[in-house]
Structure 1
């Protein structure tokens, strides 16, 4: 699946725009998985980055889609928080060497090809400090009540890519990511029995990956 994210952010309501942070990201922060200088990679419209900035973290947030970054900057201004929103290529992270203590990837990894994933994980290693923490939320090859994720990733792929790229996985568990149901009408029609939360948002199966920079 190939998506034109510039067009997507210009013409559509994206499924991952909840108008608030993903609950899984909130849980990571409460569990102590965020510290120091933070890179939110593939930040989209900035909901997670804004939440972390509100919690007092120094956040740099990047996305390859210029329209997403422009909207994220406006949202941050509306919330009166300071986030360094920047258009950048996650597979290279040029100019970000040795800067970050923590990385948050909420739903980027599964959008990349196998080759891009290898480049991306290597780029994250260059962009982080020794012992940095990496948190990845990506679609899994499991299901929730029989409903699959649209871009499933196997545990084997994650383990092999991260280990080769210089990261030691400390935890890898199943979890859920929320999607705004009204923005995934075709998927919802194909999976009418998909689980939803109390607000009618669709639950997608994910891996919650925690790793440490070696």
Structure 2
């Protein structure tokens, strides 16, 4: 069932964020840009892209700016999201810019259903929307989509500094979600910034984590 057939959550279990707001993710894109749609790639992704290998998966890609930037560098890129309005915007932007990228509706908690694995996986703003109960399931889903030896990059709100975002995450939260016993190797968790439409030109305090899949 899709949102168009009367179920706003498309037949899936609502996330903790959706339960909190009472609205599906798609609603964020229906009355203008979403708070995290800054109409360009996140600087952290631009800096890290030199180390990417393909193919690349962008989880919770929204309107596609990070995926489109990576695709413009020549990588094969798939962006997935549950918000169909966001994906329509992403496809339009790809067509307008002449960039080849694929965008599909997919549940971030069931990435195994893609039946595909990727050498690089991006999460720009998805992890910090997960509550403590969701994080192990989300991490397992990410693991199902990464090739052995592949790399996951996570950009999320930090709990350190003034003007933190609405879902701050601690360094320990990241480490606990991606444990070595579950096939992860946390290479680095560095302080960074994440751009939003409400945090000024410098963005909000963030963590940028580089995590390898065993």
Q: Name the TM-score class by shorter chain.
A: 0.7 to 0.9
Deviations 1:20-43 (A, max 9, x none): 11111101113x1x1110000000
Deviation, 1:97, is 3.8
Whether 1:45 aligns to 2:66 is no
Mapped pair 1:159 → 2:179: no
- SS of equivalent residue, structure 1 residue 179: coil
**Aligned partners of 1:139, 1:77: CA distance in 2, in Å?**
31
TM-score computed with the length of structure 2 as normaliser: 0.85
2: distance between equivalents of 1:155 and 1:108?
16
- State how 1:77-116 maps to structure 2 within 5 Å: 77-116=95-134
Q: Deviations over 1:77-111 (max 9, x none)?
A: 11111111001000111433451000010111001
Contact 1:54 1:81 in 2 (8 A): yes
Query: Do the aligned residues in 2 keep the contact of 1:60 with 1:84 (CA within 8 Å)?
Result: yes
Asked if 1 retains the 8 angstrom alpha-carbon contact of 2:112 and 2:144, the reply is no
For residue 68 of structure 1, what is the aligned residue in structure 2? 86
- State how far apart, in whole Å, the 2-side matches of 1:108 and 1:178 are: 14
Out of 137, 155, 178, the position equivalent to 2:155 is: 137
Q: Which range is displaced more, 72-81 or 6-15?
A: 6-15
Contact kept? 1:91, 1:117, Cα under 8 Å: no
C-alpha spacing 1:79/1:165, structure 2 compared with 1 (3 Å):
farther
Task: Give the Å deviation of 1:12.
Answer: 3.4
Deviations 1:130-153 (A, max 9, x none): 10100000111111xx22221111
Is 2:73 the counterpart of 1:55?
yes
Q: Distance in 2 between matches of 1:98 and 1:126?
A: 9
The SS at the match of 1:51 is helix
Asked whether the equivalents of residues 172 and 210 of structure 1 are also in contact (C-alpha less than 8 Å), the reply is yes
Match for residue 211 of structure 1?
211
**TM-score, length-normalised on structure 1?**
0.85
Structure 2 CA distance for aligned equivalents of residues 61 and 84 of structure 1: 6
Structure 2 spans left out of the alignment, 5+ residues: 1-16
Between structures 1 and 2, the one with greater strand share: 1
* Structure 1 unaligned residues grouped into runs of 5+: 182-193
Q: Distance in 2 between matches of 1:156 and 1:135?
A: 16
Offset at residue 13 of structure 1 (A): 2.0
Q: Where do 4+ consecutive residues of structure 1 move more than 3 Å?
A: none
User: What is aligned with 1:149?
Assistant: 165
- Aligned equivalents of 1:44, 1:131: Cα separation in 2: 26
